[in-house]
Amino acid sequence: MKGRTRPNDLGRSLARFFQEYLPTLRGMSQHTIHSYRDALLLLLRFLSKSRRCGIEQLDIFDLTSDSIGRFLKTLERERHNSIVTRNVRLAAIHTFARFLATEYPEHLIVLQEILGIPFKRGARTAPVEYLEQNEVKALLKAPDQSTSAGRRDHALFALMFNTGARVQELLNLRLCDVRLQQPYQVRFVGKGNKIRICPIWPQTAKLIRRLKEERHCADDETIPLFVNSRGTQLTRFGVRYLLRTYLGLVSVEVSTIAAKHIHPHSLRHTTAIHLLKAGVDFATISQWLGHANLTTTMRYARADIDMKRQALLQVFPDVLGTASGDRRTFDYLPIIEWMKRL
């Protein structure tokens, strides 16, 4: 029929890529899938503008190494994306190109040229931002626990510090995922739908139990644990807003917070750093946080200045004029004890 556009190879491939390949065959999380969606949507808009046609008229032959190269330059020059962001977009395009190669081998030569586009070097790794012990305490005291919203926020932050879980993992928690009898624990579904069990301390379990009792919910219910004022699942943007609001309040009392760029993932960094300071081994921390490999966990060892000072004391005690047993410059934080009192 005139005026209607039939699905072409590109349209059908995109549907299979997002509906079947990424979630089912690759087992990617919704967060990663959304990142890939945003990257390809930007690309499609760029190609549509370049070819002066509607997105629905684009097809596989519009994907070339030249067009992808121009798109990447646009990200940096016009959108002012960092090298890291540029490389993330390219990673999504590479994944889609590999998928297309299995679906349409007749386009293999062009797709190989796209896969040959290199990632850009020179990306700076942002420093790991985290909260010190006094800053954690200040943040946990900030919510007004005389209100239901304040009690929810206090429980949310306490659980984030207790478990070091990713924000979306916490938001996906259902009431039935929390065990409030000894041993107290929560069940997370992490990246790649990997399941892990994380212990929680009695005080954290008490905060969660209070939330459940206020909502008059049974332990085995599958509704979200953390909800907004409308009773629907709290979102990542909601958590970011809450954190920013409370940090603004406590920064008046704790001035060091104002100089830090703290976001929800920083609370995960905080747990990792303090576990490491407390002497917990890398393998345990890796399991605790749900890291795919130890390399990810070990970056925290490079993030803390106190740990670097301790390393100097161990390697060059005489040069520094300090006894090797002198730990004054390295304050071990008893994370197990202070987190029990969250």
300 belongs to the catalytic site: yes
In the set 154, 268, 269, 277, the catalytic residue is 268
Q: Which of 166, 269, 274, 277 is catalytic?
A: 166
Closest to 296 (Cα-Cα) out of 136, 164, 172: 164
Active site residue 241: no
Identify the active-site residue in 86, 89, 154, 291. 291
State both tokens at 16.
Answer: 């299979």
309 is catalytic: no
Instruction: Reply yes or no on whether 274 is catalytic.
Output: no
CA angle 246–262–296, rounded 5-degree value: 135
Which residue in the list 179, 191, 236, 260 is annotated as catalytic? 191
* Residue of 21, 36, 246, 300 marked active site: 300
* Catalytic status, residue 265: yes
Q: Which residue has the tokens 């609370």?
A: 267
Instruction: Establish whether 137 is a catalytic residue.
Output: no
Out of 16, 120, 265, 309, pick the active-site residue.
Answer: 265
> What positions carry a catalytic annotation?
166, 191, 265, 268, 291, 300
